[in-house]
A and B are shown apart, each in its own frame.
Chain A
Amino acid sequence: MAAAPPTTSEKWSSDSHQYLAVEYDDTFLVYFRPSGETHFLNFLSYGMVHAVSSGPLSEEEILARMRTDFSLTAEELPETLVATTLSELDQAGLITALDAGT
């Protein structure tokens, strides 16, 4: 337990004032104000953006949260899928990494 992977020191956050979302049957159309882009997010990617809007969470915490919120097993929602989704969201600017130290 002592040696946590370096990525977990990072916490992710989002600002709900920066985006607008409309839900269409489990699909979310999201307008992101800073980039002026419109994205389609599915329940998972939107769930992640939404989850970190109320307070920064680490990757591990996000993973746990998604499994609980959507009643998914570890097998159904593997760690790697959350990791790649985080990186997609980060690239689009929808979520921001904060240093754990700050």
Chain B
Amino acid sequence: MSAPSNVASYDRRDLRAALRNGSFTLHLGPFSHLVSGASEPLLDFLSDTYRDYSVELTPSDVTDVLLRLEAPNILRRFIRRQITPNPGFKVPAVPLPLSMSPLAFEMGLNLSVALKCCRFINVHAGVVADKDGAIVMSAASGGGKSTLTAALLQHGYRLFSDEFALLGLDQPLLHPYPRPISLKQETIPVVRDMVGDNWISKVVTGTPKGDIAYYRARASDLAQDKTSAKAKLVLFPKFEKGVRPIARQLNPAEAIMRLVPASTNYSLLGEPAFHAITGLLKNIRAYEITYGSTIDSLRLVEQITDQKLV
């Protein structure tokens, strides 16, 4: 049994063997993930984008997530070398070419966390934090959330997650889960310009969602993956081409009305979830911000946070 260590510290052969045996265990934030299914594209991806993440090649305990990346059953001889994520419960998963293994891996982990882990309220939202607290950003896909997250990371914030706000049930605190940030299509060059080539994974081209690349989390973010934070602001960002930047403050009730439908498990969790979501909005403000450029969005956030919060 090995103590957890960075992906980069392992031999590729050992990583491959662990993935084959289904003993590869990724530890991140509150969750542990057991993954099986080795492929060269996945190994390439892990040794680059996940280089600083903590893994064990033999699990030391049971894990929250059990993910199998496997060849699709029925069509396995139909379209060659395909892969599909199997999180252990029924979801219609689409087979992907083997070259898209990183996508299958990320997709599988997201499905598992979204639909299976209910010790936290999962809200589909990006979260970053500084010493004053966390900013929760909830947006529809394509709302420019990932770009804004990446931009805030360049301005003194640390990454909690670009995908899930994990809100504690016992206390209304946000918990980090700093997986790599997924970038789609035209956001790839924008973020690449912002953070530099070294931080962006190889582009997976031709996925059902177009081109996808991943922005690697920083070692400093990963080092604080157990440090939770109180929220200081809730944002609903909206990117619209050529629009004049504007912020509209929302009644907390309206913010809750928007956050709950973005949650995968609010209804399931009942009373603790009610306390948590009202606790989250207590004494903080919520804004809808609309903007046409990254610079504008940063200035809006700056202006909002500069007004001293209650």
A residues neighboring B (CB under 8 Å): 20, 22, 24-25, 27, 29, 31, 33, 36-38, 40
Cβ distance A45 to chain B, nearest Cβ, rounded Å: 14
Q: Which residues of B contact A (CB under 8 A)?
A: 251-253, 256-257, 260, 266-267, 270-271, 274, 278
The answer to whether B251 touches A38 (Cβ under 8 A) is no
- Please determine whether B253 and A25 come into contact, CB atoms closer than 8 angstroms: yes
> Knowing A27-B251, A27-B253, A29-B253 touch, does A22 contact B270 (C-beta < 8 A)?
no
9 smallest CB-CB distances across A and B, nearest first, come from A24-B253, A31-B274, A36-B270, A27-B253, A22-B278, A24-B252, A24-B251, A25-B251, A38-B274
Taking CB as reference atom, which chain B residue is nearest A20?
Answer: B274
A54 CB → nearest B CB, Å: 23
Contact A40 B267, CB 8 Å, known A20-B274, A29-B278? no
Bound-state CA distance A25–B255 (Å) is 13
User: Which residues from chain B contact A40 at a C-beta distance below 8 Å?
Assistant: 253, 257
Chain A residues lying within 8 Å of B271, measured Cβ to Cβ, are: 20, 31, 33, 36
18 more contacts with CB within 8 A, not counting A20-B271, A31-B274, are A20-B274, A22-B278, A24-B251, A24-B252, A24-B253, A25-B253, A27-B251, A27-B253, A29-B253, A29-B256, A29-B274, A29-B278, A31-B270, A33-B271, A36-B270, A36-B271, A38-B267, A40-B253
Q: CB-CB < 8 A to A33: which residues of B?
A: 271
Task: List, sorted by A's number, 28 A–B pairs whose CB atoms are closer than 8 Å.
Answer: A20-B271, A20-B274, A22-B278, A24-B251, A24-B252, A24-B253, A25-B251, A25-B253, A27-B251, A27-B253, A29-B253, A29-B256, A29-B274, A29-B278, A31-B270, A31-B271, A31-B274, A33-B271, A36-B267, A36-B270, A36-B271, A37-B267, A38-B260, A38-B266, A38-B267, A38-B274, A40-B253, A40-B257
Chain A interface, DSSP helix/strand/loop, else mixed: strand
Chain B residues whose CB sits within 8 angstroms of the CB of A38 once the complex forms: 260, 266-267, 274
* Residues in B neighbouring A37, C-beta threshold 8 A: 267
Chain B residues lying within 8 Å of A29, measured Cβ to Cβ, are 253, 256, 274, 278
- Whole-angstrom CA separation of A23 from B266 in the bound complex: 19
Kindly report which residue of chain A lies nearest to residue B268, judged by CB atoms. A36
Give A67 to B40 CA distance when docked, in angstroms. Answer: 72
A38 to B274, CA, bound (A): 8
List residues of chain B with CB within 8 A of the CB of A27: 251, 253
